[in-house]
Amino acid sequence: MNSLEGVVVQIQGLSSSAGDISRLHVILKQAEESLRSESTRLSPILNQLDPSNHSLGYLYILEACTSASVSREQAAMLVPYIARFISYCAPEQIRLAPEKFIAVCKRFKDQVMLLGTPMRGVAPLQAAVRKLQNSSEHLTTLHPEFLLLCLLAKCYKTGLSILEEDIFEVDQPRDLFLYCYYGGMICIGQKRFRKALELLHNVVTAPMSSINAIAVEAYKKYILVSLIHNGQFSTSLPKYTSSAAQRNLKNHCQPYIELANSYSTGKIAELEQYVQTNGEKFESDNNLGLVKQVVSSMYKRNIQRLTQTYLTLSLQDIANTVQLNSPKEAEMHVLQMIQDGEIFATINQKDGMVRFLEDPEQYKSCEMIERIDSSIQRIMSLSRKLTTMEEQMSCDPQYLAKAGRERQRFDFDDFDTVPQKFNI
């Protein structure tokens, strides 16, 4: 059974029924060391196996093949094998050895990055995530790997397909941090700032015993996206934020908090001066592009403030008030804001006058009613899910044991008051 030929025969003969696959799994575990010792001779064996029918055996061979470090030439040879295996493997077989499947997928990600072709890894890793998941609510270790490849390949829309799903089950805390951080960056790339804020907020407020680099970088982007999307930023965090984050995050992000303070003054010249002075810091953090969007958003905020004061204003007056270089530049900003639905206005091209209007949405169209109904249904579904989770947690032995240890032995407030004397 130590010979490679014998292993191949066992894989081919024991991959039909569930009972046979269980026996094969035991055999492969016993042969694991010998397979790794023969790792350089294993790649030709893959041609004798079918990844869809012999998924478990194929996985063990592939894991042993990739266990040692590989060169670019070896990576170029292995990547097609792994991509084909991920696409065609049977989920019920690879879930018998999830740690090996995860290891192979992570090495696959490393290999496509070594080759400088992250695009080649996007579709296979998306398929890997689906095959490893118990349900769409399950966050696997492969989620962050997939989102990282989406970022590197600039396949933002592909990454969004997974980010739309609600997550309730997490394997490892680090997976959640990276999933939300990479997901936030993908949403920033698509200018979906509301969703980006939600994901980055999850990183910053997630339970942590000590501060970590992912939370620090997420907080920097959270500040910038808050300014772009909301036009303001508050340093106060929710009560459920860990004490480690409450105490330390601000100290690691001081230039960004000062940027927010400068933004709050509404003075574009001071903001631009601050960005110029601290440009190297923002660039070293790979946030300079986002900082420039913050500066651009200040022009929009200042124009929005004008809509609250004036009904009609000339493009020249807008340019002077907002500190733009020309009426033409003011016109471009106003047109873009109208297109994005940020203001409601019309421009008279003859006299260069801008007329600000009220929001025309009456919230009674069929489309709007459907959107409201969809939101209500989703909230109701989430409420039911939270109730179920709370009931499960209240019956969990580990939770009850921990809660019991932390609670005082006697809580006299739980008892009814007893009179000290009885009058007969």
Select the more confidently predicted residue: 139 or 408. Answer: 139
67 vs 103: CA distance, rounded Å: 9
CA distances from residue 312 to 126, 212, 329, 333, 351 in whole angstroms, order as listed: 51, 50, 18, 16, 12
342 vs 301: CA distance, rounded Å: 10
What pTM was estimated for this model as a whole? 0.84
Q: Are 197 and 183 in contact (CB under 8 A)?
A: no
* pLDDT band, very low/low/confident/very high, at 220 (cuts 50, 70, 90): very high
Of 55, 51, 49, nearest to 24 by C-alpha is: 55
> Looking at the DSSP assignment, which residues form a beta bridge with residue 139?
170
Q: Write down how long the chain is.
A: 424
* Res. 372: pLDDT tops 50: yes
* Res. 390: pLDDT tops 60: yes
* pLDDT band, very low/low/confident/very high, at 408 (cuts 50, 70, 90): low
Across residues 279-294, what is the average pLDDT?
Answer: 95
* Res. 2: pLDDT tops 90: no
Number of H helices, E strands in the chain: 22, 5
Based on the number of CB atoms within 10 Å of its own CB, is 204 exposed (0-12), middle (13-18) or buried (19 or more)? Answer: buried
Type of residue found at 355: R
* Res. 421: pLDDT tops 70: no
* pLDDT band, very low/low/confident/very high, at 159 (cuts 50, 70, 90): very high
* pLDDT band, very low/low/confident/very high, at 401 (cuts 50, 70, 90): confident
Of 196, 139, 127, 189, nearest to 166 by C-alpha is: 139
> Looking at the DSSP assignment, which residues form a beta bridge with residue 277?
none
- Residue 423: per-residue pLDDT: 44
* pLDDT band, very low/low/confident/very high, at 23 (cuts 50, 70, 90): very high
Across residues 328-350, what is the average pLDDT?
Answer: 90
